[in-house]
Amino acid sequence: MLKAESVGPVDVAVVELGGDGVDQEVAAAILDLRDTGTVKVIDISFVAKSADGTVTITEVTESNVAEVYRGLVDDELDLLNAEDLELVGAELPPGSTAMVMVWENTWASRLSAALRRSGSRVRMLERVPRPVVQEAIGALEEDK
Protein backbone atom coordinates (compact mmCIF):
# COMPACT_ATOMS: atom_id res chain seq x y z
CA MET A 1 0.00 0.00 0.00
CA LEU A 2 1.26 3.47 -0.85
CA LYS A 3 2.08 5.79 2.02
CA ALA A 4 1.83 9.54 1.51
CA GLU A 5 5.26 10.23 3.03
CA SER A 6 7.08 7.82 0.73
CA VAL A 7 5.28 8.19 -2.58
CA GLY A 8 7.23 9.51 -5.54
CA PRO A 9 5.87 11.78 -8.26
CA VAL A 10 2.53 10.63 -9.69
CA ASP A 11 1.43 11.07 -13.30
CA VAL A 12 -1.84 10.50 -15.10
CA ALA A 13 -2.16 9.85 -18.81
CA VAL A 14 -5.12 9.56 -21.16
CA VAL A 15 -4.23 7.26 -24.04
CA GLU A 16 -6.66 6.95 -26.93
CA LEU A 17 -6.48 3.28 -27.88
CA GLY A 18 -6.40 2.00 -31.43
CA GLY A 19 -8.67 -0.77 -32.59
CA ASP A 20 -10.71 -2.45 -29.87
CA GLY A 21 -8.38 -1.30 -27.10
CA VAL A 22 -7.07 -4.77 -26.31
CA ASP A 23 -3.39 -4.53 -27.15
CA GLN A 24 -1.02 -7.10 -25.69
CA GLU A 25 2.03 -5.03 -26.72
CA VAL A 26 0.85 -1.96 -24.78
CA ALA A 27 0.03 -4.09 -21.74
CA ALA A 28 3.43 -5.83 -21.98
CA ALA A 29 5.25 -2.48 -22.12
CA ILE A 30 3.44 -1.25 -19.00
CA LEU A 31 4.12 -4.58 -17.26
CA ASP A 32 7.82 -4.27 -18.07
CA LEU A 33 7.95 -0.75 -16.60
CA ARG A 34 6.25 -2.04 -13.47
CA ASP A 35 8.41 -5.16 -13.15
CA THR A 36 11.66 -3.21 -13.52
CA GLY A 37 10.60 -0.84 -10.74
CA THR A 38 10.28 2.17 -13.01
CA VAL A 39 6.61 2.75 -12.18
CA LYS A 40 3.94 1.49 -9.82
CA VAL A 41 0.54 1.44 -11.49
CA ILE A 42 -2.04 2.92 -9.12
CA ASP A 43 -5.23 3.06 -11.16
CA ILE A 44 -6.45 2.21 -14.65
CA SER A 45 -9.90 2.91 -16.07
CA PHE A 46 -11.32 2.84 -19.57
CA VAL A 47 -13.61 5.42 -21.12
CA ALA A 48 -15.49 4.72 -24.34
CA LYS A 49 -17.58 7.09 -26.41
CA SER A 50 -20.07 5.48 -28.75
CA ALA A 51 -20.97 6.81 -32.17
CA ASP A 52 -24.06 8.47 -30.64
CA GLY A 53 -21.93 10.22 -27.98
CA THR A 54 -22.81 7.99 -25.03
CA VAL A 55 -19.89 7.74 -22.59
CA THR A 56 -19.23 4.45 -20.80
CA ILE A 57 -16.72 4.10 -17.95
CA THR A 58 -15.16 0.73 -17.17
CA GLU A 59 -12.90 -0.01 -14.23
CA VAL A 60 -9.92 -2.28 -14.88
CA THR A 61 -11.53 -5.02 -12.78
CA GLU A 62 -14.80 -5.07 -14.74
CA SER A 63 -14.58 -5.87 -18.43
CA ASN A 64 -13.18 -8.09 -21.14
CA VAL A 65 -11.38 -5.09 -22.67
CA ALA A 66 -9.73 -4.51 -19.32
CA GLU A 67 -8.82 -8.20 -18.88
CA VAL A 68 -5.48 -7.68 -20.65
CA TYR A 69 -4.59 -4.82 -18.28
CA ARG A 70 -6.03 -6.19 -15.03
CA GLY A 71 -2.79 -7.65 -13.65
CA LEU A 72 -0.92 -4.37 -14.06
CA VAL A 73 -2.42 -2.49 -11.12
CA ASP A 74 -0.29 -2.79 -8.00
CA ASP A 75 -2.28 -0.93 -5.32
CA GLU A 76 -5.52 0.29 -6.83
CA LEU A 77 -6.48 3.46 -4.98
CA ASP A 78 -9.35 4.64 -7.18
CA LEU A 79 -7.80 8.07 -7.62
CA LEU A 80 -9.86 8.51 -10.79
CA ASN A 81 -13.41 9.48 -9.94
CA ALA A 82 -16.47 9.34 -12.18
CA GLU A 83 -16.43 13.11 -12.74
CA ASP A 84 -12.81 13.02 -13.98
CA LEU A 85 -13.59 10.14 -16.31
CA GLU A 86 -16.74 11.83 -17.65
CA LEU A 87 -14.59 14.86 -18.55
CA VAL A 88 -12.21 12.56 -20.44
CA GLY A 89 -15.18 11.01 -22.24
CA ALA A 90 -16.52 14.41 -23.26
CA GLU A 91 -13.25 15.13 -25.08
CA LEU A 92 -13.06 11.80 -26.93
CA PRO A 93 -14.12 11.56 -30.55
CA PRO A 94 -17.22 9.40 -31.11
CA GLY A 95 -16.43 5.71 -31.59
CA SER A 96 -13.21 5.75 -29.57
CA THR A 97 -11.86 4.29 -26.34
CA ALA A 98 -9.23 5.68 -23.98
CA MET A 99 -7.23 4.17 -21.17
CA VAL A 100 -6.73 6.52 -18.22
CA MET A 101 -3.77 5.41 -16.14
CA VAL A 102 -2.31 6.79 -12.91
CA TRP A 103 1.18 5.70 -11.90
CA GLU A 104 3.81 6.53 -9.35
CA ASN A 105 7.25 7.21 -10.76
CA THR A 106 8.98 4.81 -8.39
CA TRP A 107 12.30 5.53 -10.06
CA ALA A 108 12.09 9.00 -8.46
CA SER A 109 10.88 7.90 -5.01
CA ARG A 110 14.35 7.71 -3.47
CA LEU A 111 15.31 11.16 -4.74
CA SER A 112 11.97 12.59 -3.62
CA ALA A 113 12.42 11.17 -0.12
CA ALA A 114 15.97 12.57 0.10
CA LEU A 115 14.76 15.99 -1.02
CA ARG A 116 12.00 16.02 1.60
CA ARG A 117 14.34 14.91 4.40
CA SER A 118 16.83 17.64 3.51
CA GLY A 119 14.15 20.33 3.38
CA SER A 120 14.69 20.74 -0.37
CA ARG A 121 11.94 21.02 -2.93
CA VAL A 122 11.53 20.92 -6.66
CA ARG A 123 10.74 24.45 -7.86
CA MET A 124 9.94 23.54 -11.44
CA LEU A 125 9.37 20.34 -13.38
CA GLU A 126 8.17 20.27 -16.93
CA ARG A 127 7.91 17.52 -19.49
CA VAL A 128 9.35 18.52 -22.84
CA PRO A 129 6.92 17.52 -25.61
CA ARG A 130 8.17 14.86 -28.01
CA PRO A 131 7.98 17.11 -31.13
CA VAL A 132 10.21 19.69 -29.41
CA VAL A 133 12.79 17.01 -28.53
CA GLN A 134 12.69 15.61 -32.07
CA GLU A 135 13.18 19.07 -33.54
CA ALA A 136 16.12 19.82 -31.23
CA ILE A 137 17.82 16.50 -32.02
CA GLY A 138 17.21 17.05 -35.74
CA ALA A 139 18.83 20.49 -35.53
CA LEU A 140 21.87 19.00 -33.76
CA GLU A 141 22.21 16.32 -36.42
CA GLU A 142 22.06 18.96 -39.17
CA ASP A 143 24.90 20.90 -37.51
CA LYS A 144 27.26 17.92 -37.68
Residue 123 counted as domain residue: no
Residue 42 counted as domain residue: yes
* 67: confidence class by pLDDT, cuts 50, 70, 90: low
Residue 133 counted as domain residue: no
Specify the pLDDT at position 59. 79
Residue 141 counted as domain residue: no
Specify the pLDDT at position 49. 93
What's the structural domain count of the chain? Answer: 1
- For residue 36, the enclosing domain spans 10-118
Specify the pLDDT at position 44. 87
Residue 75 counted as domain residue: yes
Given a contact cutoff of 8 angstroms between Cβ atoms, the answer to whether 79 and 42 are in contact is yes
Given a contact cutoff of 8 angstroms between Cβ atoms, the answer to whether 100 and 12 are in contact is yes
Chain mean pLDDT for the chain: 84
Tell me the pTM. 0.78
Residue 136 counted as domain residue: no
- The DSSP call for residue 68 is T
Q: How far apart are CA 43 and CA 99, in angstroms?
A: 10
Residues 110-122, mean pLDDT to the nearest whole number: 88
